[in-house]
Amino acid sequence: MRSRTIGVSVLTTTALFGLTTACLPGGGGKAADVGRAARAQASGGATPSPTAKGREKDKGTGVLADLSGTEILSQSYEAMRKVESAHVVAKVREEGKPMEFELSLDKKGSCNGVIRYDGMGKLNIIKSADLIHFKGDEDYWRGAAAQKHTPKKQVDAMVTMLADRWLKVPLSDSRAASMTHVCDLDKLTGGSTRANPLARKGETVTIDGKQALAITTAAKQGTETDYIATQGTPYLLKSTISGDETGEVLFSAFGTPVDVALPADADVLDLSKLGGGVPGESV
């Protein structure tokens, strides 16, 4: 089984280094190839089997308590594939370094939130139907420059012009291609393969005020635990991985519209008007 937690790491790292490549002096370069595929998920829901009735009732509440761990995961996978929007908070490690993001995103590709990568500061991002807006703090731009070994004089000038300033680029611009991955809800919630037949039910816990049943499975990176809502739709509320790699992803606000209100144009630098160059390139 491939971990959803690691899948989140793929999206974040790809987008972050894509932004770095697009906006550093000189442009060009290749995003770091550190991704792994998002965890494969079930192709359809499962219904309770006659033999499952009454099984392990002490480990959960409601209808899900009557199902096996595999059946519960199958139902949750199906529910998550149908989610049109969600709020996602992730804390993972990539190559030993902590990485976090908090995003609201939908299946139309809209998203709004913050990405933090160790040694790279903070990056705000807003993606609407036609544009991507992003804003990095000073640490982000200095970290991005360090990836390209940019001379200090250029770095200082770039920070002066870009730190804590919104930039925008239309989706039709080739530089936007590497920025769109992080806003792909399907990559976080979709898949096409069956649930692990060895999935095992655990205890009922509370996640963000909601009851959830823990389902544990073995993964190449260690042990994965998914926490499935026991009341209403069996959404995945939290997923963790422990072992060689660690991390967690939390899902909430299912079906809530994503706020893509854009910054005032007077405060935004339009990269599409800079041609092939970028701020600081001539410094």
| Tokens 């000189």 -> residue | 26
Whether residue 176 lies inside any domain: the answer is yes
CA 38 to chain centre: 10
Q: How far does Cα 208 stand from its chain's mean position?
A: 19
Residue 279 inside a domain? The answer is: no
278 lies in some domain: no
Q: Tens digit of pLDDT per residue, the chain (283 long)?
A: 334 443 444 344 344 434 444 343 333 322 222 222 223 222 233 333 333 333 333 344 457 878 999 999 999 999 999 999 999 999 887 667 788 989 999 999 999 999 998 878 999 999 998 999 999 999 999 988 887 888 889 889 989 999 999 999 998 887 787 777 788 888 888 654 578 888 999 999 999 999 999 999 987 778 999 999 999 999 999 999 888 778 899 999 999 999 999 998 887 998 887 754 444 333 2
Does the residue 28 lie in any domain? yes
The CATH number of residue 265's host domain is: 2.50.20.20
Nearest to 90 by CA among 115, 73, 107: 115
Q: Quick check: 222 and 53 in contact, CB under 8 A? A: no
| Residue 191, in any domain of the structure | yes
**Tokens standing for 218?**
């073995």
Its domain, for residue 83, covers 4-44+55-273
Asked whether residue 91 is domain-assigned, the answer is yes
DSSP string, 42-54: -SS-----GGGTT
- The verdict on residue 283 lying in a domain is no
Number of separate domains in the chain: 1
